[in-house]
């Protein structure tokens, strides 16, 4: 059984499987902020994050930025389109100084192709879904912005402003 199939196991169980370097963690936080149009001070968050870095520490840091996050083990074909953009962990074809795994920000996924970004490259990659599935480790991090209290208050005030109309028609 994969160590991430059950949520929130002991930190020691998931650390080796989902290890990230400092640069990878920084890239992931910045990619999440850019994709959700938020501002972030990722360097400051990294200073507050305890090593060794993993997807658990990425999830905790992203939640401090105001994102609701959860990582899951899921097949590539089962990632829902409404979850885009999301971070996935890929096997590196040629291990480098960061190891054999690297994160990727998936921005588009359908039944034929995938478009994604990887650290260190500014150009978006476009691959056949079968080719990406060979590199995909099965671990994905979903992130969505928290609903801000200002947006909720605005929606409630709009509703309050129109709530008197049915009373007028009585």
The pLDDT value given to residue 40: 73
What is the per-residue pLDDT across 40-70, written as a single tens digit (0 to 9) for each? 777 787 778 888 888 888 888 888 888 888 8
The pLDDT value given to residue 55: 84
Strands (E), 48-154: 67-73, 86-96, 99-109, 113-117, 125-128, 136-145
Residue at 1 is within a domain: no
Residue at 32 is within a domain: yes
Residue at 107 is within a domain: yes
What is the per-residue pLDDT across 124-159, written as a single tens digit (0 to 9) for each? 999 999 999 999 999 999 988 876 544 444 444 445
Cβ-based burial of 121 (10 A; exposed 0-12, middle 13-18, buried ≥19): exposed
pLDDT confidence tier of residue 1, bands split at 50, 70 and 90 = very low
Residue at 28 is within a domain: yes
The pLDDT value given to residue 13: 41
Residue matched to tokens 């899921």: 74
Residue at 122 is within a domain: yes
Q: Which of these, 28, 33, 74, 36, lies nearest to 55 by C-alpha position?
A: 28
Residue at 98 is within a domain: yes
How many domains are contained in the chain? Answer: 1
Cβ-based burial of 106 (10 A; exposed 0-12, middle 13-18, buried ≥19): buried
Tell me 39's DSSP state.
-
What is the per-residue pLDDT across 90-131, written as a single tens digit (0 to 9) for each? 997 766 655 678 899 999 998 899 999 998 888 999 999 999
Residue 7, pLDDT > 80, answer no
Domain that holds residue 68: 11-169
Residue at 5 is within a domain: no
Question: What CATH code is carried by the domain that includes residue 147?
Answer: 3.90.70.10
Residue at 6 is within a domain: no
């Amino acid at each position: 059984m994969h160590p991430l199939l059950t949520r929130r196991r002991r930190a020691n169980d998931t650390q080796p499987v989902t290890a990230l370097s400092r640069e990878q963690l920084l890239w992931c936080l910045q990619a999440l902020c850019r994709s959700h149009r938020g501002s972030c001070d990722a360097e400051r968050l990294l200073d507050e994050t305890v090593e060794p870095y993993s997807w658990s520490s990425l999830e905790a840091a992203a939640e401090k930025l105001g994102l609701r996050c959860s990582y899951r083990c899921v097949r590539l074909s089962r990632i829902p389109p409404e979850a885009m953009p999301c971070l996935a962990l890929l096997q590196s074809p040629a291990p480098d100084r960061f190891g054999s795994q690297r994160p990727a920000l998936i921005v588009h996924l359908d039944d034929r192709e995938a478009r994604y970004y990887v650290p260190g490259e500014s150009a978006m990659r476009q691959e056949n879904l079968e080719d990406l599935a060979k590199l995909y480790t099965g671990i994905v991090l979903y992130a969505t912005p928290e609903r801000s209290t200002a947006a909720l208050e605005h929606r409630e005030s709009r509703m309050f402003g129109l709530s008197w109309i049915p009373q007028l028609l009585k």
